[in-house]
Chains A and B, each alone.
Chain A
């Protein structure tokens, strides 16, 4: 399901405001006349103007890391504007204007199929604004089957649109691919809330493969195990307090913080005095405070 229309409009407006601040008059002028052109003849002009976005507007982020309005939060929608390039933000405006003027789903799909790597990324970045669930799921399928990391990052990360839209099997396949690509789950807002035991099972198996190959386990495995344990999850989480590289141990503490049973409090308390890594100490303390505050959790 796409996010509610008012939430999508909030994201639109935030992107438009940020882009207006970022563009020089020449680029802004080009974008304004491009919008007019596609509003008049969407099917004919959008394919011609779309490829020009990157060189007209540029690839710099539409907002910087310190921008006060960087995070957009609305009912059913979370997005980090800093992941949108100026070209992506401009693409959203052109696609919106074209759709308002009657551009169909088939034509939008064709724009994707005829797009080069950057144009496809621009369209993946449009997905949080797209209300057509059928087309959105088709394009998410393209992302799932792509080897191009920037493409599936654009489809899945720094917003919660994909995590919300996919059914459980699709969501699990997405997370497994993130694990393979070593992309931290923090980059997918809302993903943790969809943790499920089948996903945990898949990640435990993958963790075993990594260990057998002498390679590091994906750290985000741990919070997911804590949120939705499968057989072996508890042992893997407890083990994560004592061994593995530091990011993995930190993630294990985050996972233990979410584990309902067996109660990890004794294990966390036992680890704390021996924990030398400051961030992991803080995480253990937070996890213990959280449990004391709501002991039934």
Chain B
């Protein structure tokens, strides 16, 4: 079965039924970017607890369904506007960017496209340079093309190499802009709105799959955590070869986020948590598995 890496999905908002169905459909790795929670937060403590959840409980939850959980960390563009939290979050962010399992800075970018958003976007790209991490950019859903252009300018001004930047939530128009820039292009596939698997397949036919990323961006809203497996299936039906599919849904996200230097492919190719029940030369190393072992 084709293993699948969904590199943008907000599992914090999803139930275990989703994890189960995702695993059945071949999903083996997810990346959850730090984002807003549907309702604005009012203190930095809630960000800290949310970030800790991404590194702790959510990672564990995914592992119990056989899925590896990676994440990126950032102050999202919407809450960047909020002076109750914005500076305070940037202050704690460095310790999160040092964590194993944090493979990028994101989601940063623009939402309403205010000057404050631009400032926090630029500052976090500098943090990415400092921590040697790639950047996941959320582009606006409103006034998208202008948002893309402005994001490209900000990224260019920062000095970060373009291949370490992923501009997400793209469409047929934005790909024309981003194709030649050397950055990566992300497409979030939704059941009824924005980009669909059919439109994605059309884009792939026209532009190929080099530096292309697809994801479900599934969150609290109407979204489908199986969009990447569905797209893979559609590609197969439309005559794309196994290599092309594997490149899009496995190799590409691994390559982009692997630029963090924190991804070990061998680990991701095995079920998570296996090291805690490590089989050494075929025998369980944990003595207690033998029911005849005497109690102390």
A binds B: yes
> Which residues of chain A have a CB within 8 Å of any CB of chain B?
47-48, 51-52, 54-55, 59-61, 64-66, 78, 80, 82-83, 85, 114, 116-118, 120, 147-150, 153, 157-158, 160, 183-187, 189-193, 219-220, 223, 247, 250-251, 254, 279, 282-283
Do A279 and B286 touch (CB < 8 A)? no
Neighbouring A residues of B60 by C-beta, 8 Å: 117, 147-150
Per the 8 Å Cβ criterion, residues 92-120 of B in contact with A are 95, 98-101
Which of A80, A149, A191, A219 is close to B291, meaning CB atoms less than 8 Å apart? Answer: A219
Given contacts A80-B286, A184-B289, A192-B296, 7 further A-B contacts (CB under 8 A): A55-B262, A59-B275, A65-B283, A82-B286, A85-B275, A116-B52, A254-B295
Tell me how many residue pairs across A and B have CB atoms closer than 8 Å.
Answer: 110
List 30 interface pairs A-B (beta carbons < 8 Å), by A numbering: A51-B100, A52-B98, A54-B100, A55-B262, A55-B264, A59-B267, A59-B278, A64-B285, A66-B283, A78-B296, A82-B285, A82-B286, A82-B287, A114-B95, A116-B59, A117-B60, A120-B56, A148-B57, A150-B60, A153-B276, A158-B286, A185-B288, A186-B288, A187-B287, A187-B288, A190-B296, A192-B295, A219-B291, A279-B291, A283-B292
The one of A48, A80, A186, A223 in contact with B290, judged by C-beta atoms closer than 8 angstroms, is A186
Q: How far is the CB of B259 from chain A (nearest CB, A)?
A: 15
CA distance A156 to B52 in the complex (A): 23
Specify which chain B residues have a CB less than 8 angstroms from the CB of A183 in the assembled complex. 288
Task: Write the chain B residue with the least CB distance to A113.
Answer: B52
CA distance A82 to B296 in the complex (A): 17
Q: How far is the CB of A173 from chain B (nearest CB, A)?
A: 20
Residues of B within 8 A of A83 (CB): 285-286
Tell me if B57 and A116 are in contact (CB < 8 A): no
A186 touches B275 (CB 8 A): no
Q: Across the A-B interface, give the 10 residue pairs with the lowest CB-CB distance, nearest first.
A: A187-B288, A116-B55, A59-B275, A186-B288, A82-B285, A189-B296, A64-B280, A65-B285, A117-B56, A192-B295
How far in angstroms is the closest Cβ of chain A from B277?
10
How close is A284's CB to chain B, nearest CB, in angstroms? 13
A250-B292 CB under 8 A given contacts A55-B100, A150-B273: yes
Task: Give bound CA distance, A158 to B289, whole Å.
Answer: 11
Asked whether B264 lies within 8 Å of A61 as measured between CB atoms, the reply is no
Cross-interface CB contact of A47 among B95, B285, B287, B291, cutoff 8 Å: B95
CA distance A150 to B276 in the complex (A): 8
* Contact B55 A117, beta carbon cutoff 8 Å: yes
Q: B281 interface residue, CB < 8 Å from A?
A: yes
User: In the bound complex, do residue A186 and residue B295 qualify as a contact, i.e. CB atoms below 8 Å apart?
Assistant: yes
Q: Are A116 and B56 in contact, CB atoms less than 8 angstroms apart?
A: yes
Is B43 on the interface with A (CB-CB < 8 A)?
no
Given A52-B100, A54-B100, A61 and B296 contact (CB-CB distance below 8 Å): no
A65 to B287, CA, bound (A): 8
B16 at the interface (CB under 8 A from A): no
A186 touches B287 (CB 8 A): yes
Docked-complex contact B56 and A160, CB < 8 angstroms: no
Tell yes or no: B293 within 8 A of A by CB: yes
Q: Within the assembled complex, what's the spacing in Å between the Cα atoms of A177 and B204?
A: 52
A127 to chain B, nearest CB (A): 17
State in angstroms the CA–CA spacing of A232 and B286 once bound together. Answer: 32
Q: Is the CB of B278 within 8 A of A61?
A: yes
B13 within 8 A of A: no
Q: Please name all residues of chain B whose beta carbon is closer than 8 Å to the beta carbon of A185 when the two chains form the complex.
A: 288, 295
State the CA gap A233–B93 with chains docked (Å).
55
State whether A191 touches B99 (Cβ < 8 A): no
A183 to B286: give the CA distance in the assembly, Å: 11
How far in angstroms is the closest Cβ of chain B from A282? 8
Closest Cβ of chain B to A142, distance in Å, is 11
A164 to chain B, nearest CB (A): 12
Please, how many angstroms separate the alpha-carbon atoms of A17 and B15 in the complex? Answer: 44
Residue of B nearest to A255 (CB): B295
Interface residues of B in 47-83 (CB under 8 A from A): 52, 55-57, 59-60
List, in ascending order, chain B residues with CB within 8 A of A78's CB.
296
Closest A residue to B296 by beta carbon equals A189
Shortest CB-to-CB span from A228 to chain B, Å, is: 13
B284 within 8 A of A: yes
A contact residues around B98 at 8 Å (CB) = 47-48, 51-52
